[in-house]
Every structure is written in C-alpha cells, then in structure tokens.
Structure 1
Amino acid sequence: MIRVLVADDQALVRGAIVTLLGLEPDLDVVAEAGRGDEVLDLLTAHDVDVALVDVEMPGLDGIEVCRAMTAAGLPTRALVVTTFGRPGFVRRALEAGAAGFVVKDTPASELADAVRRVHAGERVVDGALAAESLIEGANPLTAREQDVLRAALSGAPIAVVARSVHLSEGTVRNHLSSAMAKTHTSTRAEAANHARDRGWL
C-alpha cells in the first residue's frame, strides 16, 4: 500500500480527493491537513509515502512545504495538486523539491496514477503546464524584488512596504523600478499583479 497525506485548506476539495483516492486498492490516505504548517509533523507521525499538497494554504504554502520537506531530508515524495495552474508555480515547486505538479481538474484515475508514478520515483508534471513553463522561461525577479512586489500587492504606500520588508524607502523604489522594467509594466500594481499571475510570487 502507498501511504498518502492530503493537504488542502478547502475541506470540500480535500474530502473529495480523499474519497477518490480511497477507492483505489493500493492507495491508503492515512492523514489529512487543512494548513501547511501541520504537514511536516503528520508526515513523520504517519510514515507517509506521498504527500499531496495545495499551493495556497494558511500557515505555510505548498511550495514552502515542499522546501521544508527537502530541508528536513524526509523520504516522503511531494505531489502538488492545485487550482492555480501557473507556469511559475511549476518551476518554483520543482525547485523546492516537489516530485510532481498537477491541477485539480485532473481526472481521478490520472491523479491516482500520478501518485503511483511519484511514489515509483518518477517526476510527473501536467503536460500543458510543462510546455507553458518552458515558453514562459525562468522567473526574472530577484528574491528581494519578489519580497517587495509581494508586499506591494496590498496597495500599501511605499513607507509601509519598506517597513514590512525591512528596507529603506529608496531601496524599495529601486526594487520596484527594476521589477517594473523586467515585467514590462508601468506601475507597481501592474508589476505585482503580472508577477502573481505568472506564479512568480
């Protein structure tokens, strides 16, 4: 049996995935999580083989969960299952240590097969997203530019953004200017939204 954890903050979605995987004779859902920061403890407590994680969860997002799993040296393989099929998310998830990336509208039989393939050591990525990710290219933003744009998504004034990322207002303006140039946008709001929509934040 392949021991599976399902982590998704939407109880209805999580329940549906658990039910569908439970119909498979070789898959056993041994743990569920509604928050990203619950996952690591559950993985070790339940000796999980494959963890299905959503991208956007409270506590810790799915990509950070993958990064934490990798840093902890856990043998569990991570399969990101998300509504947010953005090319940038695919690249970030794989760089963080995920073994696979599929979208939630994947048919149940394909999702179960993706779990088996990930458990077998394969890397599984939704075909359309993989192609889009290659076309889109790598995230051009530096880590600091990503931090600043993330803070700017709220529409807060420069002074507030600067305080939240612990930088001077002048440095924040420089990072925003660079990010706007890289995203070919004319305002910080456009730059932040452009980056978010591509999964770069």
Structure 2
Amino acid sequence: MNALDHALLTAARTGDTDGVRTAIEGGARVDARDEELRTPLLLAALGDHVEAARLLVAAGADPDAQDRREDSPWLVTGVTGSVAMLHVLLPAGPDLTLRNRFGGIALIPAAERGHVAYVREVLRRTDIDVDHVNRLGWTALLEAVILGDGGRAHQEVVEALLAAGATPGLADGDGVTALAHAERRGFTELVALLRAAA
C-alpha cells in the first residue's frame, strides 16, 4: 500500500475530513483497502464520520465494497443506526439487496438493535425488502421480536415494519411466527401489535 492510500484510510478511520480531502486530491485511491479489506468509506461509516463519508461519496467511493467480514459501508448503517450516514450513502446508489455474513440486509440488524429512526427512514426512502429472510430464517420483524427486549424501541420498530407491509405470519425456520415468539417471551405490547396485524 502506498503512503497516500494509507493516509486516506487513516483519515477516514479517524474522521479527519481535511486529511481525507488532502489524500483524495493527492491521488489516493478512493477504494483503497486495509489489511481487513475495509475501504475508507467503510471505515468512515463504522465511525459515523459523516463529513468524511460525504467527501468519499463525492469522489466516487463504492457503498457496496465488502470487507473480510462481508460488511459494506451501506450494510453497517443498519448496525450503527446512523440516519445521517444513510442520507450520505443513498445518493451513491447502494445495493439494497446486498447481504451481510448472516445473509441479512441492512434493515435486519437495525430492527434487531431497535434503531427506530433508521428503520423508519430506510423504509420511507427506499424500496428495501421488508420481508427479506436471512440465513437464520429470520426477517426484520422476527429479529425485532426474537433478539429485541420488547421495550418501546422494539415496539416502534415492529409498528414501522408492519406499516411498511411486513408479513406478520411469516414463520422462522422452525415454523414459529413473530406472534408466537412474542407470546413465549411475554411481550404483551408486541403480542397486541402482531395480533392486530394478523
């Protein structure tokens, strides 16, 4: 790796906007990779360095470049829940069907983690597949129930998913529905939401 590429990766990782600009202007490769195959844009997205990411997108950085863990700049927005980063990356035309190492799309980790604002925004701004099923046999709705805590954030995520057309009766690989999982876990508010949607 040359010094300019290294400088760009370091600047993106730390959110050093001036450093990103200088490296790009100096001829650094906008999609250079570090030892984990992470690009500057992925590093900026992981750190939620929005302005650095904006510069990289303007320079043509790939929102879909995946690293060794199969993370991409777009996919990690579902993990971080950053609405600001979502807005920076959407103009770059990310592949909404790109899958992470679990076979999931960006919506699924966002639902699991209770990132309400992100879930609402990605559903509002894109045609992301609300019923995508990952390798575990789970949709965003199932993950919000199975891996969520049943609290207000996960209730709002479930509401948003149902409003966007999520199929409440889609069962997991064992044939268990989100409603059955919510009943087993004693999530009375989620049970009420899912019953109303059935």
- TM-score for both structures, normalised by structure 2: 0.32
Structure whose residues are more often strand by fraction: 1
- TM-score for both structures, normalised by structure 1: 0.32
